[in-house]
Copies of this chain bind each other. A is one copy, B any other.
């Protein structure tokens, strides 16, 4: 897994959801009263901030308008204002809005303003599907989850822990036991976990990694790029206004506005009947946006199928759509984005 994190440091496997790994990132490195800057651009950034708050950190929030990404200048300014800043919480890919932030630029801004601050990153919903370079970008702790790019069932989360984070864990006084990363590191040396792991999920992650190694990182990244481009082009051709700032489109999930006047409940009900499951908006975006996921084993063929269904149901519900327009636009976009349509996996299951 280390090449996908872009790290030579430890990757710890926890039996929990991604949220548990976010909690591990906080409680293993911080003490109550520590100054924390939580940069949030959606529901998951809010959750990360909330965890630090619950465990007694002194949290300053930098709230970015949902659909947008934080700018390095804003992060630099916010970090510079906090005396004794101990950690900055960043979201790599905000699933609730379909936005991917520019982590290397944000990390450089933090280092510039507060060289000693830890940089803790929620990379749950894109790591493995897009290029990532934890060590080169100077990140201290990065987390992801089994059910994302790794194509396994949910139940395990992974945390990559750099030397500054390990050093911080030696003095961090937030209480921890089940999610204690040091206990996991110590037992990992003997090929064990401190508590019973979700071993069936572990085997799945192992198989996911085998598939990913067979496909190759560049091919995986290109396939996600093509799926994302096809999704955006297809939704736009269907008259759905995309939600995210176009400079920060996610390559793993695309969000679009629910158009004024569309009876979303009825429309979405028909989609479900045809087998297409979209995600609704979270938090303050509930009922205002919908989201099309394209992470993991997804292919452009599947995106074209989803768009074909959306096209058919749009026509059925009286939306002014020219038959074929969405799939044609998606196809052109996928080709322009590199044309990696399918998973190209060599070899047979181990």
Q: Determine, out of A104-112, A190-198, A221-229, A301-309, the stretch whose residues face the partner at the interface.
A: A190-198
Count of chain copies: 2
Taking the complex as formed, is A117 at the interface, i.e. its CB lies under 8 A from any CB of chain B?
A: no
Mark each residue of chain A from 143 to 164: 1 if its CB lies under 8 Å from any CB of chain B, else 0.
0010100000111100000000
Contacts of A20 in B (CB 8 A): 15-16, 178, 195
Once the chains bind, are B200 and A200 in contact (CB under 8 Å)? Answer: yes
Looking at chain A's contact residues, the main secondary structure is loop
- Known: A19-B195, A153-B198, A155-B155; 10 extra A-B contacts, CB below 8 A, are A15-B17, A15-B154, A20-B178, A54-B175, A54-B177, A147-B196, A153-B199, A153-B200, A154-B198, A155-B198
Residues of B within 8 A of A23 (CB): 177-178
Residues of B within 8 A of A200 (CB): 153-155, 200-201
Q: A16-B20, A56-B175, A175-B55 are in contact. Are A155 and B201 (CB under 8 A)?
A: yes
Structural contact, B55 and A196, CB atoms closer than 8 A:
no
A148 CA to B56 CA in the complex, in Å?
Answer: 36
| Given A16-B15, A17-B15, A155-B155, A51 and B177 contact (CB-CB distance below 8 Å) | yes
Q: Give Cα distance in the complex from A19 to B51, angstroms.
A: 20
Measured between alpha carbons, how far is A201 from B153 in the docked complex, in Å?
9
| Interface residue? A179 (CB, 8 A) | yes
Q: Does A174 contact B (CB under 8 A)?
A: yes
Docked-complex contact B177 and A179, CB < 8 angstroms: no
- A176 at interface by CB-CB < 8 Å: yes
A residues apposed to B, CB below 8 Å = 15-20, 23, 50-51, 54-56, 145, 147, 153-156, 174-179, 194-201
Residue of A55, A195, A197 contacting most chain B CB atoms (<10 Å) = A195
Residues of B within 8 A of A18 (CB): 195-196
A-B CB contact pairs (8 Å), 19 listed: A15-B15, A15-B16, A17-B178, A17-B197, A19-B177, A20-B178, A23-B178, A50-B177, A51-B177, A51-B178, A54-B175, A56-B175, A147-B196, A154-B199, A155-B156, A155-B197, A174-B175, A198-B198, A198-B201
How far is it, in angstroms, between the C-alpha of A56 and the C-alpha of B199 when the chains are bound? Answer: 31
Determine the residue in chain B with the shortest Cβ distance to A56. Answer: B175
Do residues A17 and B196 form an inter-chain contact, with CB atoms below 8 A? yes
| Min C-beta distance of A318 to chain B, whole Å | 32
Give the docked Cα–Cα distance between A16 and B157 (Å): 11
Please measure, in the bound complex, the distance between the C-alpha atom of A17 and the C-alpha atom of B19, giving whole angstroms: 15
CA distance A163 to B200 in the complex (A): 35
A176 & B17 in contact (Cβ 8 Å cutoff): no
Q: Please name the 5 residue pairs, one residue from A and one from B, whose CB atoms are nearest each other, closest first.
A: A155-B198, A153-B200, A17-B195, A19-B195, A155-B155
Q: For the complex, what is the distance from the CA of A153 to the CA of B197, rounded to whole Å?
A: 9
A245 CA / B156 CA spacing, docked (Å): 38
A199 to B146, CA, bound (A): 12
Give, as a whole number of angstroms, the nearest-CB distance from A120 to chain B.
15
